[in-house]
Amino acid sequence: MSAVKSSLRTLLIFELFAQRQCPLTLAQIAQALEMPKSSCLALLTTLGERGYLYRYGADGGYYPTRRWLHQANRVAEHDPIAHYVRASLERLRDAFGETALGAMLAGDQSTYLDVVESTELVRFTARPGDVKPLDVSASGRALLGVLPPADRAAVLDRLYAGAGRPRAARRTLDKLIADEAARGWSANLGEYRPDVISVAAGLLVDGTAHALVMAGPYPRVEARIERIGRQLAREAAELARQLR
C-alpha cells in the first residue's frame, strides 16, 4: 500500500467514526470505505498499537480513544494565527449577528479554517474543513484578489484548463476579481447557494491568502452588504497588521 493511499485511508477511518458516532467492526469499516479487509485490519491494528483506537468488547467494534483529541488540542493551542482570527470572527459575529468564518487558499479551493456561527435560529451553517469553489464564492474571489498577479493567473489557468470553460468567462472573472479587490471586499449574491449572501475580505499572512467571511440568509443580509463589506475590509487590514 502506498504511503499516500495509507494516509488517506487513515483520515477516512476517523471521518467515518465522526459520521457514524458509534463503534464499528472491521467488516463495517472495510465496506464503508471500499477497502480490502486485510488492508483495513493492518491500519486498524497500527492505530490500536499507537493508542488511537480501542476494541469495544471482546467481539465488538473499534472506537477512537481520546488520544487523537488530546493531540489535536495540543496542536490547536499553538496555532500561530488561530487566536487572532477567532477574535476577529467573534467581533464580526457580534457586530452583525451573522455567521463569521475564516478561510484560506488550499490548493485550488477555499477552505474554512474556523467558524463562529450566528445565534439566530435561521442561519448559515458550516464546519471547519468545508471547501468552496474559488470562482463562485465570496471567500474564493477575496483570496484570489490578494494574490500577486502571477500567482492568481496560475490558479486561474488551472481552473480553466478543462474543456467547456470559455476564455470569455475567464476574462469576466478576472475583471470581477480585480474590481472587488480594488473595492476591498467581495460579495456572493446567491451564486453558490441562492438563499445565502456571503461577503469576504482577503489578506496575506506570510505569503498565504486568507479571508474573513460573513454569510447569512439573503433577506437579512441584502440591505447590509456594503456595511458588512467595509467592516470586513477594516478587520482584515487590522488582522494583517497584527500578524505581520
* pLDDT tens per residue across span 86-143: 999 999 999 999 999 999 999 899 999 999 999 999 999 999 999 999 999 999 999 9
pLDDT in tens, 158-212: 888 865 677 778 889 999 999 999 999 999 999 888 999 999 999 999 899 999 9
Same domain, 139 and 236: yes
First to last CA, the chain: 42
**Residue 7 and residue 54 in one domain:** yes
- 213 and 237 in one domain? yes
What band does 77 get if pLDDT is binned at 50, 70 and 90? confident
Give the single-character DSSP code of 24. B
Split into its structural domains, the chain has a count of 2
Indicate whether 5 pLDDT > 90.
no
Give dist(CA 86, CA 212) in Å, integer.
Answer: 10
Question: CB–CB of 181/200 below 8 Å?
Answer: no
How far, CA to CA in Å, does 107 sit from each of 103, 158, 193, 202? 12, 10, 22, 16
- Indicate whether 93 and 33 sit together in one domain: no
Q: What is the mean pLDDT of residues 228-244?
A: 95
- CA 213 to CA 239: how far, in whole Å? 13
Domain of 54, CATH number, reads 1.10.10.10
| Domain, as residue range, for 160 | 80-243
What pLDDT does 3 receive? 66
- Angle (CA) 156 79 81, round 5°: 60
Same domain, 20 and 96: no
Instruction: Give the range among 17-26, 58-67, 170-179, 209-218 with minimum mean pLDDT.
Output: 58-67
Cite the DSSP H helix spans in the chain.
3-20, 26-32, 37-49, 67-77, 82-96, 138-145, 149-159, 167-183, 218-221, 225-243
107 CB-near residues (< 8 Å, 6+ apart): none
Q: Say whether both 94 and 196 belong to one domain.
A: yes
The arithmetic mean of pLDDT across residues 33-42, rounded, is: 91
Residue 105 pairs with which residues in a beta bridge?
110
What does pTM read for this prediction? 0.77
C-alpha–C-alpha distance, residues 234 and 141, integer Å: 18
Q: Do 85 and 178 fall within a single domain?
A: yes
pLDDT of residue 225: 97
Confidence at residue 75, expressed as pLDDT on a 0 to 100 scale:
82
Question: Does residue 88 sit in the same domain as residue 127?
Answer: yes
- Statement to judge: residues 125 and 237 lie in one domain: yes
Domain boundary among 16, 43, 72: 72
Average pLDDT along the chain: 91
pLDDT at 2 over 70: no
